[in-house]
Chain A
Amino acid sequence: MIFFIRRALQDMNNNKFLHIVTIIIITLSILIVSAFSLFFINANDLMESWKKGIRIMAYIQKNTPEVRILDLKLKIAQTGNVKDVRFISKEEALELLKNQMGQQRSLLNDLNGNPLPDAIEVKLKASIENWEEVEAIAARIESYPLVEDVEYGQKLIGRFTNIFQLFRFIGIAMGVVFFMASVFIVANTIRLLFYSRHDEFEIMRLVGATDGFIKAPFYIEGIIQGAIGGIIGITVLFISFWIISSNIDQGFSSYFFSIRFLPFKLSFGIIICSMFAGWLGCFLSLKQFLKT
């Protein structure tokens, strides 16, 4: 094995330019794929944190007797995927509004009476997977008698969910495309090397070298190219992440979630995939060549 590794490194040294170009292309592929992964992981965390905070406000018709409000509260609590319900009287709502307005609360002093309705705050379970479910629950609550209106966060969240799904699809597609690109590039490098050294391999065969003896260094070269490309790609992404995240207002992220880098297992998995792409590129090239 050491003999083959030494031969592979010697070959790489003899064909530096070709190998460097291949490694750069693998690095760029890995960088793009892992940047997408990084985006998804953090976008997913953000979505999870939003989901945990999703609540539906059901506003109750004016002058509804308290007994009927309690009935409605019970009915809503029994609705599927509802975690918790709380009655917020219009007086409490006004008080909350005043607290939220802080120094501008004096603006509310001129109000004639309380314009706010009574409401029931509905908290949903975190197991809800998509925005359609939230919409369905809100629609159901809205259909109950005495419920005048429902409000469940900005439409933006719904749009973001759809965009997130679209990006996830594009990300997976790009991952596949870049994996194939890496395989193709390695296969092409090996093909070029094989063409340039065809006579050498013919001589090796004539003196009794097996196909395995000829192929082994190429496989090692492919795996080394994949590993170097993968490690550089992840490292560059980590450095970029570190620089960018240290410049982001940490206050922003701590309200909702904390931005994080790719987990170690995923980074390791990406490097292994990159090595596999190197191996596969060799396999496809050599399978074709040694048949002749």
Chain B
Amino acid sequence: MIEKNNSDYLIRMFHVSKSFVAKSALSDISLDIVKNEFVIITGPSGAGKTTFLKLLYLGETASQGQILIDGKNLSRITRKNIPFLRRTFGIIFQDYKLIHTKTVFENIALVLEAAGNKRSYVQKKVKSVLRIVGMEGRNNSYPPSLSGGEQQRVAIARAVVGNPKIILADEPTGSLDPQSAEIIVNLLKKFHKRGATVIIATHDRELIRTTKSRVINLKEGYVQSPKVITI
């Protein structure tokens, strides 16, 4: 077995638990994710998949344990610095979370504008990403006028436009037809090949079956034995 350096780990979790008022969502999770890994978090509904992702981008804070992202301890990140942590991630949501009053272009440009990039760079970069996801003709469309698959492609474009180290996808194919789901999975694989670490939370068996990756199985907040499925 090859020994890994500390610098190889992008995400490290040590005895992480998360409990809400009524119940425990995650219990004693300890795992590492290395750079450029493709990881699938799976498990039945309510197993804690979404909470797992939220803990990484500080959508929720861990009740116990420590999480390191690229060497930074999340428990020491101040509220003011959360936006900078979030720029490490590109997040894709099952419900896309696109702003309906902004055009496709504006939705994607927002990430770069928030990071303080120049207008000329924003224009160039957004156009290039739209081309990669096959949405170059829909610059000025508004999200409600797009199909579910198209909206998810825009969401992927928004997630990757800032060149994040980690792409988090929460049920990215959950509400899509098989054809659209395949396009989405292929896009995620494409960005993985370009160097991003991809973490997908899903219970889509087809996605798990067709993806050569490490699978972390969650059940009632606990990690079941991790396994690697290779097709």
A199–B84 Cα gap in the complex (Å)? 20
The answer to whether B110 touches A206 (Cβ under 8 A) is no
- SS class of chain A's interface: helix, strand, loop or mixed? helix
B94 to chain A, nearest CB (A): 13
In the complex, which of the residues A14, A204, A210 contacts B110, with contact meaning CB atoms closer than 8 Å? A204
The answer to whether B113 touches A208 (Cβ under 8 A) is no
* Chain B positions within 8 Å of A83 at CB level: none
Chain A 204-218 against B: per-residue CB contact (8 Å), 1 yes, 0 no?
111111110100000
Nearest B residue to A196 by beta-carbon distance? Answer: B101
A241–B103 Cα gap in the complex (Å)? 48
* Interface residue ranges of B121-169 to A (CB < 8 Å): 158, 162
* Chain B positions within 8 Å of A107 at CB level: none
* Interface residue ranges of A206-245 to B (CB < 8 Å): 206-211, 213
The residue among B83, B115, B162 with the most chain A CB atoms within 10 A of its own CB is: B83
The answer to whether B59 touches A208 (Cβ under 8 A) is no
The answer to whether A213 touches B114 (Cβ under 8 A) is yes
* Chain B positions within 8 Å of A14 at CB level: 101
How many residues on the B side are at the interface (Cβ–Cβ under 8 A)? 20
The answer to whether A207 touches B119 (Cβ under 8 A) is no
The answer to whether A203 touches B86 (Cβ under 8 A) is no
* Interface residue ranges of B82-100 to A (CB < 8 Å): 83-84, 86-87, 91, 97-99
The yes or no answer to B111 lying at the interface (CB within 8 A) is: yes
The answer to whether A206 touches B57 (Cβ under 8 A) is yes
In the complex, which of the residues B80, B86, B98 contacts A208, with contact meaning CB atoms closer than 8 Å? B86
* Chain A positions within 8 Å of B98 at CB level: 203
* Interface residue ranges of A10-50 to B (CB < 8 Å): 14
The answer to whether B101 touches A209 (Cβ under 8 A) is no
The answer to whether B114 touches A209 (Cβ under 8 A) is yes
Number of A-B contacts (CB under 8 A): 44
Chain A 108-145 against B: per-residue CB contact (8 Å), 1 yes, 0 no?
00000000000000000000000000000000000000
The answer to whether A203 touches B83 (Cβ under 8 A) is no
The answer to whether B86 touches A200 (Cβ under 8 A) is no
* Chain A positions within 8 Å of B83 at CB level: 205, 208-211, 213
The yes or no answer to A3 lying at the interface (CB within 8 A) is: yes
How many residues on the A side are at the interface (Cβ–Cβ under 8 A)? 14
* Chain A positions within 8 Å of B111 at CB level: 207-208
Chain A 180-212 against B: per-residue CB contact (8 Å), 1 yes, 0 no?
000000000000000000011001111111110
Known: A3-B119, A213-B114. A206 touches B101 (CB 8 A): no
A142–B98 Cα gap in the complex (Å)? 87
Nearest A residue to B115 by beta-carbon distance? Answer: A208
A199–B95 Cα gap in the complex (Å)? 12
In the complex, which of the residues B91, B113, B119 contacts A206, with contact meaning CB atoms closer than 8 Å? B91
* Chain A positions within 8 Å of B99 at CB level: 199-200, 203-204
The answer to whether B101 touches A3 (Cβ under 8 A) is no
The answer to whether A207 touches B59 (Cβ under 8 A) is no
The answer to whether A208 touches B87 (Cβ under 8 A) is yes
The answer to whether B97 touches A203 (Cβ under 8 A) is yes
The answer to whether B101 touches A207 (Cβ under 8 A) is no
The answer to whether A208 touches B84 (Cβ under 8 A) is yes
A200–B106 Cα gap in the complex (Å)? 12
* Chain A positions within 8 Å of B84 at CB level: 208
* Chain B positions within 8 Å of A207 at CB level: 86, 91, 110-111, 114, 158, 162
B107 to chain A, nearest CB (A): 9
| Interface set of B (CB-CB < 8 Å, partner A) | 57, 59, 80, 83-84, 86-87, 91, 97-99, 101, 110-111, 113-115, 119, 158, 162
Question: 18 pairs across A/B with beta carbons < 8 Å?
Answer: A3-B113, A14-B101, A200-B101, A203-B99, A204-B99, A204-B110, A205-B83, A206-B57, A207-B86, A207-B110, A208-B115, A208-B162, A209-B83, A209-B110, A209-B114, A210-B80, A211-B83, A213-B113
Starting from the known contacts A207-B86, A208-B162, 6 additional A-B residue pairs (CB-CB under 8 Å) come to: A3-B119, A207-B91, A208-B111, A208-B114, A210-B80, A213-B113
